[in-house]
Structure 1
Amino acid sequence: MAKEKNYALVFIYITILIDIIGIGIVAPVLPTLILKLSKGDLSATTQYIGWFISIYAFIQFIFAPILGSLSDRYGRRPLLLWSLLGLGIDYIILAMAPNLIWLFVGRIIAGVMGSSMTTATAYVADISTPEKKSQNFGMISAVAGLGLIIGPVIGGVLGQYGERIPFYAAAGLSIINFMYGVFVLPESLKKSKRRPFSWKTANPIGAMKSIKKEILAPSLIFAFVFIALAGHAMQSTWNVYGIEKFNWKADMIGYSLGFFGVLMVISQGLLIGLFINKLGQKKSIMICLLIYCVSLFLFSLINQSWMAFVVIIPYALGGMATPILQSLISSKVPDNKQGLLQGGLSSIGSITAVFGPLLMTNIFAYFTSGHAPFIFSGAPFVLASVLATIGSVFVYAALKNEKS
């Protein structure tokens, strides 16, 4: 039994790794592919990228809780395999897309099928002993960080041979993972522990309403929203910013994202513990938020490629503010409401992932077009710095209220 569980854990970690690698592989070449299919300029392409990201987030917002509830009813294995096969088909559709319509069809399919990360996390919870659960969940973060390093670099290298090649590579990885799962992966959820499917529990809006009743520090929730929105400047416009500002190709985009991934693993896997042990959560989050706000603003001012790599360093350090904020919010909620809280935060994060990319890509498109009073491709990062500053004020207010 223990050996079977180890095989299952290895498969789950491989699943998560392939998921993140697949996302990372296509990231460096996506702007180029959309630019070719749209037959427009970079400003128009950026707006399409915003819709491309937002549609995926919206579909995920709707379907992730539904698929999660289905996995509680029918088991993790069928839902996980279904997701992996679906993602493989999605990448093939994206690779062969003759126009933008098919590109968006592929993204919708990915949103519907993309429950593999959620189901994989539930699978780990099913098969982990209480004393191993924290360690196994920690491995999920470590493996995801590794994928964030490997994926963009592979995508950048493959993208030099054609903007569609990375999509085929991602499809191959997903289908291989599906085949491996068919023969190796056991079911983790016993029939005695399954529950009937209910639309009430498969409802993201319900979780968001419930979190409003339970949270004891609403200022921290407002901070979470503003800081999450600020993060979409990097997530949604970094690729096109590099193309417009530095004339980057797929390889340089991939290297920059891979470098960021390395720093994220170091900062959130190692340094965050040192920060908190030395300074405590409250001082740590305020210092990290200050670094985060300043680094976002610095991104708007850089004019050389090497500067981008330099500023990524404090940006990654400032990014430690997000997990610290989540920990602070968690400390305000009773133990028996933690699941509700995490579901609510996930739903809020999904909503910001719908509107954040549209906001940032449209700002970029406007300030790189002929309609703006001046050309300023760094505008999304200025806006992000302002949003993060507002979020910091909410955090400061919440911490100050605790003292008084």
Structure 2
Amino acid sequence: MEECGRLSHLFVTVFLFSFHSYIVLPTIADVTVAALCGGRDACSLAIYLTGFQQAISGLGSVIMMPLLGNLSNSYGRKILLTIPTTLAIVPLAILALKRTKNWVYAYYAFKTLTAMVADGGVLCLSFGYLVTSKSKAESVSEGKRVAAFSVLYGVVSFANVLGNLGARFLSTSQIFQVGAFVSILTLVYMRIFVKDWSSSSSSRDDHIDHSTPLALEERTESCNNLRFHGIPSPKDIFRLINTSTTFALAASITLLGGLADAGAQTFLPYFLKFRFGFNKNQFAIIFLIINVGAALSNVVFVPKLGHRFGEMTLLSFAFFVAFLNMLLNSLSWAPWVPYTAASLGIVFTMWSSCVRSIASKQVGCSEQGIAQGCMMAITSLANVTSPLIFSPLSALFLSEEAPFHFSGFCVLCIGLCYLMAFILSMIIKLVPSSSKERVSNQHCVVA
């Protein structure tokens, strides 16, 4: 009963945070274009500014996510959750006041800085919170881990559904006012209701030698784990990724999937706006279709299918369908095609929870925070790389200087990233899990 209450408050916090993030998402492209493009439906300035913000924020997140995850192992998830939930308030408050040119520039300036911690921080810390608990009886075993991660993603998807419904029916000014209010509510709710069990007092770690930042010892089922203290260096992260071939492949898949997700989220709206003149209402409906499917798959289907077929099978299937989704979008010969492609979201949104579960099983009890922080850092690295690749492609093929007539070429390239991730997901099935390669963490306990 206590465990249900603990997780329910976490889920509410994640829901509120995701809601205020997603309610503004369909409107950002409209607001940016209206403020910067002088009445045109698209311009390079809006595309490059969006890409620049995404790249710089992602670069900062590469450093901040492992740090947040590692510090949460020592100081507790709740204390660290306060940081991203507080920072997320600022950009929304700016656009809640005004959306003229200078205010939009101010939004992007603050968003660039706060997103380094806020955008991935809540999910990163929540993943670690899910796997650690007060007693062995309450811990999340490996067999149930994909269900736990998928339910968390389901909560995010449900928040996305309601956020897009709000974006569809509220005016632009009301959208940002609601977003700012809910961001404040998220912080207050989290501070009052979320309970924290810090691993700093865990007596089971008292005997471990902390003399080195990262002690790589021979891994056995007695849980001789990697140890991190302070700020993890790039060398530490690299050595964590290489703890097993499976973890390394999961990290590579996360990079490709994150690269594609970031490109689809940022540049697909600009393509659809150029191709069919879509605005926030059409974007909201498309995101709504995707996230209704995501909520259903992550809450209902993944826990059942993951137990029956395994995360790796679902991972491959999800990436192949994600490629088909982008292929359909790139060819969009009529306005109804993007809506049809969005219906595939019930399948392609499965990949994140599956790969998180795979990565979680490759590390020990006390490394869940740093491991999930590492995976989130890889996603952030994808956010850095994505605009470097897709901003020029999108701007070029949406302009009159395109080398050939195919405005959806950038979207097709996003699909190719999913296809490469699909190929790697087929390889990961061939890698056996041995006791020498990963730590047994059936009971991740926090005292």
- TM band (smaller chain): 0.7 to 0.9
Report the counterpart of residue 106 of structure 2 in structure 1: 102
- Are 2:255 and 1:225 equivalent residues in the alignment? yes
Letter in 1 for 2:177: Y
Once the two structures are superposed, residues 106-141 of structure 1 have per-residue CA deviations (whole angstroms, 9 ceiling, x without a partner) of: 213422551334344445556554444447655433
Once the two structures are superposed, residues 294-336 of structure 1 have per-residue CA deviations (whole angstroms, 9 ceiling, x without a partner) of: 33212111232322121122354134345445555666x4656
Give the distance between the partners of 1:348 and 1:56, measured in 2 at CA. Answer: 13
1:28: Cα distance to partner? Answer: 0.8
- Are 2:165 and 1:165 equivalent residues in the alignment? no
- Are 2:275 and 1:253 equivalent residues in the alignment? no
Once the two structures are superposed, residues 342-390 of structure 1 have per-residue CA deviations (whole angstroms, 9 ceiling, x without a partner) of: 4433322221122113422332111001221244331122112222333
Report the counterpart of residue 47 of structure 2 in structure 1: 46
Letter in 1 for 2:288: G
Give yes or no for contact 2:17–2:186 (8 Å, CA) kept in 1. Answer: no
- Are 2:324 and 1:294 equivalent residues in the alignment? yes
What RMSD over aligned residues (CA atoms) do the two structures have, in Å? 3.5
Give the distance between the partners of 1:273 and 1:8, measured in 2 at CA. Answer: 20
- Are 2:197 and 1:179 equivalent residues in the alignment? no
> What is the correspondence of 1:120-135 to structure 2 with a 5 Å cutoff?
120-123=126-129, 129-134=135-140
- Could you tell which deviates more after superposition, 5-14 or 53-62? 5-14
Letter in 1 for 2:294: M
> What is the correspondence of 1:2-401 to structure 2 with a 5 Å cutoff?
9-39=7-37, 41=40, 42-44=42-44, 45-96=46-97, 98-114=102-118, 115-123=121-129, 129-134=135-140, 139-158=151-170, 161-162=171-172, 164-185=173-194, 187-189=196-198, 192-193=201-202, 201-203=230-232, 205-217=234-246, 218=248, 221-273=251-303, 275-276=305-306, 284-325=314-355, 327=357, 333=362, 335=364, 339=368, 341-399=371-429
Letter in 2 for 1:370: E
Give 5+ residue unaligned stretches, structure 1: none
1:13: Cα distance to partner? Answer: 2.1
**Residues 174 and 381 (structure 1), Cα distance of their counterparts in 2 relative to 1, 3 Å cut:** same
Give the distance between the partners of 2:161 and 2:382, measured in 1 at CA. Answer: 24
Letter in 2 for 1:172: F
* Alignment coverage as a number of residue pairs: 395
- Could you tell which deviates more after superposition, 113-122 or 374-383? 113-122
1:24: Cα distance to partner? Answer: 0.5
The percentage of aligned residue pairs carrying the same residue is 16
Give yes or no for contact 2:74–2:199 (8 Å, CA) kept in 1. Answer: no
Higher helix share: 1
**Residues 133 and 245 (structure 1), Cα distance of their counterparts in 2 relative to 1, 3 Å cut:** farther
1:84: Cα distance to partner? Answer: 2.6
Once the two structures are superposed, residues 155-196 of structure 1 have per-residue CA deviations (whole angstroms, 9 ceiling, x without a partner) of: 2322xx23x432221110121233344555555438735999
Give the distance between the partners of 1:372 and 1:354, measured in 2 at CA. Answer: 24
For residue 402 of structure 2, give the secondary structure of its aligned residue in structure 1.
coil
**Residues 358 and 37 (structure 1), Cα distance of their counterparts in 2 relative to 1, 3 Å cut:** farther
Give yes or no for contact 1:246–1:305 (8 Å, CA) kept in 2. Answer: yes
Letter in 2 for 1:105: A
Give 5+ residue unaligned stretches, structure 2: 141-146, 214-227, 433-447
